[in-house]
Homo-oligomer: A and B are copies of this chain.
Amino acid sequence: MGRGRVQLKRIENKINRQVTFSKRRSGLLKKAHEISVLCDAQVALMVFSSKGKLFEYATESCMERILERYERYSFTEIQCATDEIQQNGNWTWEHAKLKARMETLQRNLRINLWLNQFLSFRKRTKNCKNRITYLQRRRRRKLMWSRHIGS
């Protein structure tokens, strides 16, 4: 598009690549939005630049719900695949695929576990801080009380 045909290969000039990325990214997000509105579809789009910056679009700006839907979909797929394996005993064929998927899900689970640990750690830290503040306050109160009595 534009002046001259484009070869479908990495743009070597860094500046051109950055400019093209910026322009095409906005085009892509626009098109994603259009199809979601025109055709009543749910769309989730994630774009990581080569520098690792994230740009995202999601229908009704609810990425989580769509990702969850994707996971459910994948889950159902695995269930079907496994049922198939059970039925026709074609274990070796689906094995690699299933194994790969499982590993990914276990990785995700690990990440989620991290997150939970992290959050509970934060919570504990916060509680701890609150506790300290409470104790300090109580001590101060006591001190003031004793002074009050003393006076």
Tell me whether A54 and B70 are in contact in the complex, defined as CB-CB below 8 angstroms, given that A44-B45, A46-B44, A109-B116 are known contacts: yes
Contact between A8 and B34, CB atoms less than 8 A apart: yes
Q: Which of B8, B34, B38, B48 contacts A37 (CB 8 A)?
A: B8
- The residues of B that contact A31 with a CB separation of less than 8 Å are 24, 27-28, 31
Number of chain copies forming the complex = 2
Contact between A43 and B35, CB atoms less than 8 A apart: no
Chain A at the B interface: mostly helix, strand, loop or mixed?
Answer: helix
Interface size for A (C-beta < 8 A) is 66
Interface: A140 (CB within 8 A): no
Tell me whether A24 and B46 are in contact in the complex, defined as CB-CB below 8 angstroms, given that A54-B70, A82-B122 are known contacts: no
- Cα of A69 to Cα of B34 in the assembled complex, Å: 26
Interface: A136 (CB within 8 A): no
23 A-B pairs in the complex with CB atoms less than 8 angstroms apart = A6-B38, A8-B37, A8-B38, A11-B38, A20-B39, A21-B39, A21-B41, A24-B38, A28-B35, A41-B48, A42-B47, A43-B45, A43-B46, A43-B48, A45-B45, A45-B46, A48-B69, A56-B70, A65-B104, A68-B108, A71-B111, A75-B111, A82-B119
